[in-house]
Amino acid sequence: MRERIKQYIDEIHGMVFDAQMRESDYIELFRARYLGKKGLINALFEQFKTLPSDEKKEVGRMLNELKNEAQNKIEELRAMVETQHDAPHDLDLTLPTTFSEIGSRHVLSVVMNEIIEIFSRIGFTVAESVEIEDDWHLFSALNFPVDHPARDMQDTFFVEKTEGRQEVALRTHTSSVQVRVMENNKPPIRIIAPGRVFRNEAISARAHCIFHQVEALYVDKKVSFADLKQTLIYFAKEMFGSETQIRLRPSYFPFTEPSAEMDISCNICGGKGCNICKGTGWLEILGCGMVDPNVLESCGIDSKEYSGFALGMGVERMAMLKYQVKDLRLYFENDIRFLKQFDAVL
């Protein structure tokens, strides 16, 4: 027992305080080890009771010395901690501050959210669906003829193309979301379908195999082309400014009849003509039209009772016009030099 007491005293004398001990509550661990109810010194006092009477005097003196050493060491360590807290820090407040880099949303996310916000103000809700679709929802239900070029390998990434079975492909437009909504909901329907789409195209400054769309669909009784036109005017002015003008040109889409392309007055030159609008004063931004009755019937909606309009736009195209981005590939390269240009708008 005497040897163990001497060992503990030597251990206590050899304790060296450092910053790491302070951070890990070392003082409390030290106190619990030696002076706690289940500590080493209490255990020695329990053994002390079993010693012969002639040994108790010397061993008792050694135990008291050990206890005092432990208590003194604790006081010493606490005093050193206080000194450390009160000591002046070696910090030069005149040095320049280093700020951490803060991330921000991608410009495409910003533009897509802005489009969603504009349509949400007039009652449109967001609808989403899968990116891998079957032929019915991608083409057949949308009135695409069997020989339509969009079904060809040059335009579509087919995942599964088997004779006698429905073809499965990466969706080429978010119109498939409109089909699924119409199949599973009764009018009135007023939704926007934002999302990523895929087309088998050569990547260039003005085209990519991956891009993003936002489509809108409104189906109800007595919906007319006038409702579509007023919606388009509202969107254009909210997106590009109150002075923006629109024009509609006849076009063709399998799923709308009549169909139109919408142009806006160039927001760069104010409609006077520049290199962005190629001197015309107008910029094409989206396609639209009245939902073809065949599409309504394919989705189980009575085309004699209901009508509707649909429109669709490319998010990359919107961002290019809004922020004058000339190369579509920049959106996908994650070049920090390009992305940092939009910190102010994010």
Whether domain 107-342 has CATH 3.30.930.10 = yes
Which pLDDT value is given to residue 310?
96
d(CA 32, CA 36): 4
Averaged over successive runs of 10 residues, the pLDDT of the chain (346 residues) comes to 76 65 64 77 76 78 81 78 61 73 81 94 93 90 83 75 74 93 94 93 83 95 96 94 91 93 83 76 91 94 95 90 84 85 69
Residue ranges per structural domain of the chain: 2-86, 107-342
pLDDT for residue 230: 96
By DSSP bridging, strand 158-160 and strand 246-253 are unpaired
List the Cα angle 172/263/112 in 5-degree steps: 50
Q: Residue with structure tokens 């931004």? A: 285
- The string of pLDDT tens digits covering residues 123-140 is 999 999 999 998 899 899
275 contacts: CB under 8 Å, gap ≥ 6 = none
d(CA 255, CA 252) in angstroms, rounded, equals: 9
Q: What are phi and psi of 123, to 5 degrees?
A: 95, 5
> pLDDT value at position 23?
47
Strand order in the sheet with 307-314: 125-126, 189-198, 210-220, 307-314, 282-291, 256-265, 246-253
Strands 256-265 and 282-291: antiparallel
pLDDT for the residue numbered 257: 92
